[in-house]
C-alpha cells in the first residue's frame, strides 16, 4: 500500500472557473507512478481537493472526471476510486442516495459506478436489537449507480477495535488500539406469523384491555407474547423479534391500537382486537 498526504503532495488535476484546463503533465506523472509501482487500485480522497474548479457546473466537473481520472484508469488499466461528499440531508430525509452527491449531477453521470454509504438509522438499530448509541459503529454500502452489474440491498460494515501485537507484555506496555472495519451480517429476526400466534394475540387483548404497545410499559403486550412463543423479552434480539411480530399483527389488522388516558393523566396506546375481526 502506498499512501500520500495532500499536504505533502498536493494534486490538482484541473483548474479554471468556467473553462477547465487539465494539468496533463501531472496526469502523466500519476500514470507513470502507477505503472512504475504496479498499482492495481488508486483512491483519490476527497475529490474536492483534487481540482481547483467549481463543483456546481457540469461543464467544469465532467472534464475533471472524464479527461483526468477516467483517462488515468484507461491508460493504466486499473480501478480508480474517487471519494466524494454528500450535501446535508433535507428535513425528513432518511438516507443518502446518488442524488445527494454534492455539486453537479455531471459527477454522477461521468462515473461508471457509484456506491453510497449510510450510517445505521435509529429505526434500523431498533429493528436489529441494538442500542441507539451502538448504531454509530455500523454503516451500509449500497450500489447507487451500477452499470453492467446488478444492484442489491447493500452490505453492512462495523467499526471495531483491535489490539495490535506491538506491545511488551513483560514491561506492561499494551499494543496499539486501532479501529478497523469488518463485514457485518444483520441478525435474522424473521418470525413466521402463524394462526396460533394470531389467535393467541387476539384472545390476549380481549381478556386484558390494559395491555400496551410501548415496550417500556410494565403491561407491554410483548411480555405475554414472549411466554407463548418461548422468547426472552429481556434479550435484545428476542425483544426485536417480538416488536416485529407486534408490527405484523398491527399491519394484518389482527390487532389495533386505541389511544386512552392513564391514571397519571398521560395518553398512551393500548392494544385491542381489530374491529373487522370482532
What is residue 110's predicted lDDT score, i.e. its pLDDT?
Answer: 93
Exposure letters 39-53 (e unless 16+ CB within 10 A, then b): eeebebeebeebbbb
Residue 72 has pLDDT above 50, yes or no: yes
Residue 36 has pLDDT above 50, yes or no: yes
Average pLDDT over residues 111-118: 93
Q: Which three cell numbers mark 249?
A: 399483527
- For residue 137, give Cα distances in angstroms to 1, 176, 243, 276: 25, 19, 23, 44
Extract the runs of DSSP E, i.e. beta strands, from the chain.
14-15, 21-22, 41-44, 79-82, 113-119, 138-146, 155-163, 177-184, 255-261, 267-273
Closest-CA residue to 64 (of 113, 118, 26, 9): 26
What is residue 152's predicted lDDT score, i.e. its pLDDT?
Answer: 63
Lookup result for grid cell 428476542: 238
Give the separation between CA 38 and CA 2, rounded to whole angstroms.
11
Give the separation between CA 109 and CA 59, rounded to whole angstroms.
12
Closest-CA residue to 5 (of 45, 32, 35): 45
Exposure letters 127-166 (e unless 16+ CB within 10 A, then b): bbbbeeeebebbbbebbbbeeeeeeeebebbeeeeeeeee
What is residue 189's predicted lDDT score, i.e. its pLDDT?
Answer: 80
What is residue 278's predicted lDDT score, i.e. its pLDDT?
Answer: 46
Longest distance between any two alpha carbons in the chain, whole Å: 81
Average pLDDT of the chain, as a whole number: 91
What is residue 154's predicted lDDT score, i.e. its pLDDT?
Answer: 85
Tens-digit pLDDT profile for residues 217-233: 999 999 999 999 999 99
Residue 153 has pLDDT above 90, yes or no: no
**DSSP code, position 81:** E
Least confident stretch, 31-45, 55-69, 108-122, 256-270: 256-270
Average pLDDT over residues 77-96: 93
What percent of the chain clears pLDDT 90, i.e. is strictly above it?
73
What is residue 3's predicted lDDT score, i.e. its pLDDT?
Answer: 92
- How many other CB atoms are found less than 10 A from the CB of residue 6? 13
Least confident stretch, 27-36, 126-135, 244-253: 126-135
Average pLDDT over residues 175-191: 90
54-103-114 Cα angle (round to 5): 120
Tens-digit pLDDT profile for residues 157-177: 999 999 999 999 899 999 999
Q: Which three cell numbers mark 237?
A: 434480539
Q: Which domains does the chain have, with CATH numbers?
A: 1-111 (no CATH), 113-186 (no CATH), 195-277 (1.10.10)
Amino acid at each position: 500500500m502506498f499512501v500520500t498526504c495532500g499536504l505533502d503532495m498536493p494534486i490538482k488535476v484541473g483548474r479554471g472557473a468556467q473553462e477547465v484546463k487539465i494539468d496533463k503533465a501531472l496526469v502523466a506523472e500519476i500514470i507513470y507512478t502507477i505503472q512504475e509501482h504496479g498499482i492495481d487500485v488508486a483512491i483519490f480522497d476527497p475529490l474536492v481537493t483534487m481540482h481547483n474548479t467549481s463543483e456546481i457546473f457540469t461543464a467544469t466537473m465532467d472534464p475533471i472526471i472524464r479527461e483526468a481520472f477516467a483517462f488515468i484508469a484507461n491508460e493504466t488499466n486499473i480501478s480508480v476510486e474517487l471519494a466524494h461528499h454528500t450535501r446535508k440531508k433535507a428535513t425528513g430525509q432518511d438516507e443518502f442516495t446518488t442524488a445527494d452527491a454534492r455539486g453537479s449531477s455531471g459527477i454522477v453521470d461521468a462515473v461508471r459506478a457509484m456506491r453510497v454509504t449510510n450510517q445505521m438509522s435509529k429505526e434500523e438499530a431498533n429493528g436489529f436489537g441494538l442500542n441507539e448509541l451502538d448504531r454509530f459503529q455500523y454503516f451500509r454500502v449500497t450500489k447507487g449507480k451500477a452499470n453492467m452489474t446488478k444492484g442489491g440491498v447493500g452490505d453492512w460494515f462495523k467499526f471495531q477495535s483491535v489490539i495490535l501485537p506491538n506491545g511488551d507484555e513483560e514491561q506492561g506496555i499494551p499494543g496499539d488500539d486501532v479501529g478497523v472495519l469488518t463485514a457485518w451480517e444483520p441478525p435474522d429476526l424473521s418470525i413466521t406469523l402463524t394462526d396460533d400466534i394470531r389467535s393467541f394475540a387476539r384472545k390476549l387483548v380481549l381478556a386484558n384491555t390494559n395491555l400496551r404497545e410501548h415496550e417500556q410499559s410494565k403491561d407491554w403486550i410483548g411480555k405475554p407474547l414472549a411466554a407463548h412463543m418461548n422468547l426472552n423479552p429481556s434479550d435484545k434480539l428476542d425483544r426485536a423479534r417480538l416488536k416485529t411480530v407486534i408490527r405484523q399483527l398491527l399491519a394484518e389488522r389482527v390487532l389495533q391500537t386505541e389511544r386512552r388516558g392513564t391514571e397519571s393523566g398521560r395518553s398512551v396506546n393500548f392494544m385491542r382486537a381489530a374491529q373487522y375481526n370482532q
